[in-house]
A and B are shown apart, each in its own frame.
Chain A
Amino acid sequence: MKTKILLAALATALTATAHAQVKVEDAIKWRQSAYATMGWSMARIDSNLKGTYNKEEVLKAATVLQAIANSGMGSLYLPGSDKGKGWVDTRVKPAFFTEGAKVGKIAGEFNQAANDLAKAAATGDAAAVKTAFGAVGGTCKSCHDDYRAK
């Protein structure tokens, strides 16, 4: 029991250190890379829905989306990362950092939608994937609309 508590404390300490060590520039780069990778996955699913549907291909892409959605990307939105350059200048709006509850709600909806999409992709039901895919796109948009500079 003591060991467990000790390990837990150590883990917490390590996490805290890890956070403190992330440079703003890296955080923005990783954010942008994650979104680009999600863009790849969205495009992949989209082309499967519009052309020949390949269950394996869609499942791979949906799994990537689900993994990134559940990766805790919020931790990359460090204080001070509202401005700055990763691969390119960040387009996040200052409101993203002050409207935590609203952003968190959208993030939760995105996670849910990505999980649903992965479930649908596992069944191979193209119609269900199309619906779930639309829902994911909707959550992307609700954040883009409010928190990304045009």
Chain B
Amino acid sequence: MSETRKILIWDLPTRLFHWLLVLAIVALVVTGKAGGSWMEWHGRLGLLVLGLLVFRLLWGVMGSTYARFAGFFPTPAKVAAYLRGQWHAPGHNPLGACSVLALLAVPLFQALTGLVANDDIAFVGPLYDLVGRDLSNLATRWHLLAVNVLLALVALHVAAILFYAHIKKDNLVKPMVLGWKDSAHGESARGGGWIAFVVALALAVLAVYGASGAWLPEPPPPAAVETPAW
């Protein structure tokens, strides 16, 4: 065993993304299950998650070493090597990378279907008007079914972290909080400077603006429609 040293694994934007996503998903599950007036917040939080995910997808290209998709994209060969114990590199291991991609894909699916969903009570997603009732009902159905997939993935994620902490004696939470990890392999993450951050953030904000439907034309004023007085 070679000597270990402190290397930077998760840059600050990646960590902020992770923990904001955790908070947002917890709040989304709670507000979604509560319904009623909470749907207003459910919609806002959904837009936040969409922004976070767009940022993370861009950060996967523009961010630092271990945040990049190209660096951790799992292939069957890599996963097999990892399972045989032949993988020693910092960052997402190939099996964990599958979990990461699923935990990005399912919330993205939820955010996108949520944009056009309806609760058949008093809430519709901000882009509901673009798709009409039938498609909205379909999106709603998938949105409601996929939340179970999301909860299962989160449970698996937490179980894997507990497994690593207790069985493999590898604390994965600490690096996700502090960024640093004692490692015998690899080097500190590089790249993902301020410019990349600002660009990714700006594009994420732009995506949220697009998804919020704020650019949709205002509905015609009520005065323009004449109906019988009774």
B145 at the interface (CB under 8 A from A): yes
Instruction: Choose one: B36, B140, B145; the contact of A141 (CB below 8 Å).
Output: B36
Find B36's partner among A39, A43, A45, A138 (CB 8 Å cutoff): A138
Let me know if B122 and A138 touch, CB within 8 A.
no
| Prevailing SS type, chain B contact patch | helix
| Chain A interface residues toward B at CB < 8 A | 39, 42-43, 45-46, 130-131, 133-138, 140-141, 144-145, 150
Contact A137 B141 (CB under 8 A): no
Contact B145 A137 (CB under 8 A): no
B13 part of interface (Cβ distance < 8 Å): no
Cβ A137 vs Cβ B122 within 8 A: yes
Cα–Cα, bound, A141→B39 (Å)? 11
Known: A137-B37, A150-B144. 4 other contacts (CB 8 A): A137-B39, A138-B34, A138-B36, A145-B35
Query: What A residues does B39 contact at CB under 8 A?
Result: 137
Q: Is the CB of B37 within 8 A of A133?
A: yes
The answer on a CB contact under 8 Å between A137 and B120 is no
Interface on chain A toward B: helix, strand, loop, or mixed SS? Answer: helix
Q: Nearest 9 A-B pairs (CB), nearest first?
A: A134-B37, A141-B35, A138-B36, A137-B36, A134-B36, A46-B122, A137-B121, A140-B121, A42-B122
**B interface residues, tally (CB under 8 Å):** 14
Nearest chain B CB to A133 CB, angstrom units: 7
In the complex formed, the residue of A with least CB distance to B144 is A150
Query: Across the interface, which residues of A come within 8 angstroms of B34, CB to CB?
Result: 138
Task: Please report the C-alpha to C-alpha distance between residue A55 and residue B145 in the assembled complex, in whole angstroms.
Answer: 39
Q: Is B119 an interface residue (CB 8 A)?
A: yes
Q: List 26 A-B contacts (CB under 8 A).
A: A39-B120, A42-B121, A42-B122, A43-B122, A45-B122, A46-B122, A131-B37, A133-B122, A134-B36, A134-B37, A135-B36, A136-B36, A137-B35, A137-B37, A137-B39, A137-B119, A138-B34, A138-B36, A140-B121, A141-B36, A141-B121, A144-B119, A144-B120, A144-B121, A150-B140, A150-B141
For the complex, what is the distance from the CA of A138 to the CA of B35, rounded to whole Å? 6
A105 to B35, CA, bound (A): 18
In whole Å, how far is A15's beta carbon from the nearest beta carbon of chain B?
32
Residue of A nearest to B119 (CB): A141
Which residues of chain A are near B144, meaning CB under 8 Å?
Answer: 150
B123-160 contact mask (Cβ, 8 Å, vs A): 1 or 0: 00000000000000000110011000000000000000
Residues of chain B with a CB closer than 8 A to A137's CB: 35-37, 39, 119, 121-122
Q: Which one of B37, B120, B121 has the highest number of Cβ atoms from chain A below 10 Å of its Cβ? A: B121
Bound Cα distance from A131 to B145, whole angstroms: 29
A121 to B141, CA, bound (A): 33
* CB-defined contacts of A39 to chain B, threshold 8 Å: 120
B122 touches A130 (CB 8 A): no
Given contacts A42-B121, A144-B120, is CB(A150)–CB(B145) below 8 Å?
A: yes
> For the complex, what is the distance from the CA of A39 to the CA of B137, rounded to whole Å?
15
- Bound form: Cα–Cα A128–B119 in Å: 22
